[in-house]
Amino acid sequence: MVTQSHIENLNTQIRISDVISVLMEQSNLLMDIVNKNQKEVNRLKKQLEQLKTHTDNSTDHIES
Measured over the CA atoms of residue 9, residue 13, residue 19 and residue 20, the dihedral's sign is positive
pLDDT of residue 55: 84
Q: Higher-confidence residue: 62 or 21?
A: 21
Task: Give the pLDDT confidence of 15-61 residue by residue, as tens digits.
Answer: 999 999 999 999 999 999 999 999 999 999 999 999 999 888 877 76
Distance CA 58, CA 54 (A): 6
Q: What is the pLDDT of residue 63?
A: 60
Per-residue pLDDT at 62: 65
Whether the CA torsion 33, 39, 42, 48 is positive or negative: it is negative
pTM: 0.68
